[in-house]
Structure 1
């Protein structure tokens, strides 16, 4: 399979909620290997996946090798988030930006390889933002997406009706998902808020909702407008930052729900 992502790596480690890093011991092993002479090839090639996962000590251990590599040594770093790479490493690299795949290319691949409905394939391709791995994962995560939609609908309905007791129970349910799923849920919520705002423009070709989402948005979209859309997305983003920083899930989600009561009435 030519497509691989970080979440699959965590699952293979049986630690879906972990946040692995590259430690100094691994850097030392790499430096030791590079000290050997290459006999069967012209170059020794280091393929470093996710250099943003290097901790400070590991980066310092590799810094000299990266700054002044042996003549027969090449470093190729593949990053998902170049901004997160330590500046001492990043400043010594030559950057090559890979362009995103067009939506129609991803959609055609999903239709051909997985027999996905054309409407759903275009929605998946658009939401993947040019990332084939994300689009493929969205197929296997259909149950998760369905669950996220249910949680999103419950949040909006209970918030609109000001049902504080029910929102407290909702916050507990979301917190039970675990940190990584909570973060994916909040990203999902931000996407749906943006899509519902665009829905009000009545230009169908601008919307990328699957059939279930479109059915809900038909009646819900009118509650997302220019008076509240930015603040709602901001609160969702703030909640995501708090969860990523190991904030208490129940407290963060309940706080978000209470704020949503006020924002939906604007």
Structure 2
């Protein structure tokens, strides 16, 4: 991973590069990233740059022996720790047993979320964990001198889910780090970290990607401009979600939502029942995605109704619908719709029968319209 491969975030890239050039490298750095943001990608590019033997002022060379090994994530001075769970694919209790899967997972895309990783290793409904044995093994990994690079680097992904024992073990290591060793912690839930761990790291705030960054990234990866604009709106700076939406071919959330709302407005019960049957046949993630899309549009309608249309991110082709829909409901009704969709989302997450959830939601929303 090179800095040039990461969309946007130029000021952060410059700061990281300058810290290497001036030899002002903090021994522990926390990449505090938004979900689906560039935290992990930046940590990988930073690691590559640190040990590159022919780096320029802008980036790693990408071709030296160190870069070649980092491109495959097999550099002997670069180590990973990440959450694991009981899996049908792998029998192991530490990250090392899962390393080959982890490399493949990250090389596919560095913009990933924990549920994607657990699904990748077939962890089913189990939660990921970083156990105390993992933290204690850090010293064993880093106790020897660097093999090839100037620095030994340990990248710890999702330290926010470590249990108390593992967190305390990590804290001791951060207080007395081995010589020429750098710890890179990547988290999208830093509020769950021990404050004592945060205080011993240099925090790098990594914001969500801008709409322009997401749209450009998608178009550079052969996504059409119109599709890229629509996905950019749906993903809201979350590149992991954007890439998932690219894979979901034929997923017309806009068309589904518009037809659903028209049926609610007409109080076409027969059609709403068919809608509920269709909804019931979708997988849970698609069901949640449609409800999430509904929430986004309802909130945009609230913004429009309050006269702040310049703040909307909604694509142009959907703006007309937002404007017309806002005339059919008042502020209180929109707020009630948002509340009802949130309740429906909660029920879907907890495995309530989807057909019942959507039909109940549809009939409830139908009563909020102002009909003439």
* TM-score > 0.5, shorter chain as reference: yes
Compare relative contact order (CA 8 Å, sep 6+) and give the higher one, 1 or 2: 2
Of 44, 48, 63 in structure 1, the residue corresponding to residue 167 of structure 2 is 63
User: Residue 135 of structure 1 corresponds to which residue in structure 2?
Assistant: 242
Change (3 A) 1:126 1:163: closer
Change (3 A) 1:125 1:91: farther
Change (3 A) 1:122 1:249: closer
User: Residue 81 of structure 1 corresponds to which residue in structure 2?
Assistant: 189
SS in 1 for 2:315: coil
Distance 1:99 1:120 in 2: 24
Change (3 A) 1:79 1:253: farther
1:62-113 alpha-carbon deviations (Å, 9 max, x no partner): 0221221152275533233345x3x6x4553244321233333333333444
Change (3 A) 1:161 1:134: same
Contact 2:135/2:169 (CA < 8 Å) preserved in 1?
A: no
Q: Is residue 153 of structure 1 aligned with residue 258 of structure 2?
A: yes
Contact 1:224/1:264 (CA < 8 Å) preserved in 2?
A: yes
Matched pairs, number: 252
Contact 1:27/1:61 (CA < 8 Å) preserved in 2?
A: yes
Distance 2:256 2:362 in 1: 12
TM-score w.r.t. length of structure 1: 0.73
Where do residues 32-71 of structure 1 align in structure 2 (5 Å cutoff)? Answer: 32-36=137-141, 37-40=143-146, 45-52=153-160, 54=161, 59-69=163-173, 70-71=176-177
Change (3 A) 1:49 1:202: closer
Change (3 A) 1:51 1:243: farther
Larger mean CA deviation between 106-115 and 240-249 belongs to 106-115
Larger mean CA deviation between 59-68 and 218-227 belongs to 218-227
TM-score w.r.t. length of structure 2: 0.55
Distance 2:171 2:231 in 1: 41
1:224-247 alpha-carbon deviations (Å, 9 max, x no partner): 442322221122122222222333
Distance 1:120 1:205 in 2: 21
Aligned-residue Cα RMSD (Å) equals 3.6
Where do residues 174-213 of structure 1 align in structure 2 (5 Å cutoff)? Answer: 174-198=279-303, 206-209=312-315, 211=317, 213=318
Contact 2:153/2:182 (CA < 8 Å) preserved in 1?
A: yes
SS in 2 for 1:22: coil
Of 112, 124, 128 in structure 2, the residue corresponding to residue 22 of structure 1 is 128
User: Residue 162 of structure 1 corresponds to which residue in structure 2?
Assistant: 267
Contact 1:50/1:80 (CA < 8 Å) preserved in 2?
A: yes
Structure 2 residue runs of 5 or longer lacking an equivalent are 1-107
Change (3 A) 1:180 1:109: closer
Distance 1:203 1:63 in 2: 46
Distance 1:97 1:157 in 2: 43
Distance 2:136 2:321 in 1: 55
Structure 1 residue runs of 5 or longer lacking an equivalent are none
User: Between Structure 1 and Structure 2, whose CA radius of gyration is higher?
Assistant: 2
SS in 1 for 2:188: coil
